[in-house]
Chains A and B, each alone.
Chain A
């Protein structure tokens, strides 16, 4: 019995909790990608760098608050700075739309042109972030580090295995639930949200019904800014902030959105968790867990690790290709062919 409990705790500690936190971050990122795809109809390659930009603003404000002696008790100060980060990012995205994207929308340019345009925006945002905050790692988490620390858990339960639950993971999960609930309430209950869904379903019909497309697009960018900044800050709190890492997040985020079904918000969430759980499970060494579960003398003598952790990206990519080949609309029926 203790062995089973030990195995379960080890599994939770190294697989379940990290994967749930990472999955929430991916889901928030994928929601942004999927909203842009649904409303503006292109894959936004600048999304990773939008996340980096929002996080950078939040970090700068956090440093300002810390310097002024403001803190948020046990919670990280970055949570206080988050609204300002969102506001600045929203301004940035609206400005980008006004200067860059609107011209091509008016021309009704092909989606692939918009994708190339978003590559240009990606370059600029990437350069901007590196210019302001530099290309190095930045840590900005403060406050209490653990909700449950491994030592306390061992003392409390008397088990061999410790269970650590970090504050950043707790905040990630709670924030993700709140943000997703708000988003779905907005999309399903409010007038603006309904007009956004109508616009995504059938643009011409929505225009005929008198929906103002520019307004819909504006709301989309503001929501995307909020989602991207929240996802970026949560990822940064959980791991650390580095512009290049955020650029690389593009692949798992796209994989989440596509696996779930591009254009479908529910799919983005499901896809995020599918990708996160596969990445963590495939690259985790199950030796310890199996050691508890197997009978005496049958413990594995290898690591029981399917792939080394360096191949995380390969996991999201493999899932992406498998889904595209066998179920091109994604697991949750997206709108793309």
Chain B
């Protein structure tokens, strides 16, 4: 009952936004809220079920975005002819080097010979890799650098990109998990923080792959464009029969279409997560979280289960990242900031209630709404606070100009208050 009321209250926030600001804005916030809720579900899987402290969410989201680019964008044929084959060869050499180094460490007997063999493989592999990679990269980036300058994608529909984003994130999570899981929680946190920064650094700098900071714009989408609707006589006639402006209505119709797709995915995921939580597998996960030693003594494979849930949670984050890039229709690596894409999701999970799927979803909607609305609310508050100050005073201008930074302050405050007074969140774990 209380939970239903909470959901109604958060829903009322969005309806209120629709009445006060505009329905277009309310729907835009709600769509991103759906994606935030999916992200929060993924993090809740890792933290709430298994107690894994992953603060590299940004990296997995960015990989999902990359998947959107390489699946949906049309291929750049000239770039493929110029250096595509060599690039694939270079990447294969790179992967073979890493694999060779790992194998030589595992298979050879301990001692100096092993260390030398490993170093030899790494150095030789690196040199061959660079000699293949550098010319291939230059050739690809030289093809029409203002327009493309990258390999392009596969030209497939956007809906295909989302599972690919999940798969890409899962692959990365497998590599991270293999190396970093099993470390203490603080170390896992630092390691994931680092890997996220590196993924974003790669996306920013490898122009041949994702155009780097030149951004990829105009990604294909799974719903019609507004302009197409406006040119459809049936749509215009329908809008006019309702007495609505066809231009405004087309924007809303597109957002509603997105909302339908996203809500379908979110509900499916909630269903799956609930089933997993209440299954023997979910009970085992919580047993491992609450006492790793005891669970291990009962014959549970703690490390294997941790790896499994780390990959699952990261895949959900990758899915959300791909959806987000499709929704924005653009891929801008420079916009991936840890405060927005990692720590904000953590606030959602903690505030909503870690360990409870519905709680995380609620937190996702609530915190995303707050994140967007703090700025106008803060501006209004600041207007009232600075009212006694004379117009044109430096302090007043500074205070009014800095309002946009209020959202970080607010998020920190919300997180600390919830941790202090309601540490289990709005909808606690049962």
Number of A interface residues in the complex (CB < 8 A): 46
CA distance A224 to B198 in the complex (A): 28
Residues B205 and A311 in contact, CB atoms below 8 Å apart: yes
Cβ contacts A321-335/B at 8 Å (1 or 0 each): 100110010000000
- By the criterion CB–CB under 8 Å, are A126 and B408 in contact? yes
* A131 and B402 in contact, given A120-B412, A325-B179 (Cβ under 8 angstroms): yes
Known: A258-B187, A310-B201, A328-B183. A250 touches B193 (CB 8 A): yes
Partner of A320, one of B190, B338, B415: B190
Instruction: Tell me if B416 and A324 are in contact (CB < 8 A).
Output: no
In this complex, the member of A103, A113, A321 whose beta carbon has the largest number of chain B beta carbons within 10 angstroms is A321
* A123 pairs with B187, CB closer than 8 A: no
Decide yes or no: A313 and B187 within 8 Å by CB, A116-B346, A127-B407, A134-B402 being known contacts: no
Give the residues in chain A near B369, CB-CB below 8 Å. Answer: none
A218 on the B face (CB < 8 A): no
Which single residue of chain B is at the shortest CB-CB distance from A262? B186
A112 touches B416 (CB 8 A): no
Given A117-B419, A320-B194, do A123 and B409 touch, yes or no (CB 8 Å)? yes
B6 at the interface (CB under 8 A from A): no
Known: A100-B416, A116-B350, A311-B205. Contact between A123 and B408, CB under 8 A?
Answer: yes
Smallest Cβ distance from A331 to chain B, in angstroms? 15
> Is A317 at the interface (CB under 8 A from chain B)?
yes
Q: In the complex, are the beta carbons of A115 and B186 less than 8 A apart? A: yes
Q: Please give me the 6 A-B residue pairs with the lowest Cβ-Cβ distance, nearest first.
A: A123-B412, A127-B408, A127-B409, A124-B412, A317-B194, A120-B415
Q: Is the interface of A mostly helix, strand, loop or mixed?
A: helix
- A127 with B190: CB separation less than 8 A: no
Complex: A124 Cα to B423 Cα, angstroms = 18
Q: B137 CB to closest chain A CB, in angstroms?
A: 11
Determine if A310 and B205 form an interchain contact, defined as CB atoms under 8 angstroms apart.
Answer: yes
Q: Are A43 and B190 in contact (CB under 8 A)?
A: yes
B339 within 8 A of A: yes
In the complex, 24 of the A-B residue pairs with CB atoms within 8 angstroms, ordered by the A residue number, are A111-B185, A113-B423, A117-B416, A120-B415, A121-B416, A123-B339, A123-B347, A123-B408, A123-B409, A123-B415, A126-B412, A127-B409, A127-B412, A128-B409, A130-B408, A135-B405, A247-B339, A255-B194, A311-B205, A316-B194, A317-B194, A320-B191, A324-B183, A324-B191
Q: Mark A293-310, 1 if CB is under 8 A from B, else 0.
A: 000000000000000101
> A3-44 vs B: 1/0 string, CB under 8 Å?
000000000000000000000000000000000000000110
* A131-B405 in contact given A120-B415, A317-B195 (Cβ < 8 Å): yes
A interface residues (Cβ-Cβ under 8 A, vs B): 42-43, 100, 103, 111-113, 115-117, 119-128, 130-132, 134-135, 247-248, 250-251, 254-255, 258, 308, 310-311, 313-314, 316-317, 320-321, 324-325, 328, 336-337
Contact A123 B183 (CB under 8 A): no
In the complex, what distance in Å separates the CA atom of A84 from the CA atom of B346?
Answer: 35
Cα distance A183–B290 in the bound complex, in angstroms: 40
Q: Which residue of B lies closest to A311 (CB)?
A: B201
Interchain CA distance A63-B407 in the complex, whole Å:
27
A255 to B423, CA, bound (A): 30
Which one of B187, B338, B408, B420 contacts A324 once the chains associate, using CB atoms below 8 Å? Answer: B187
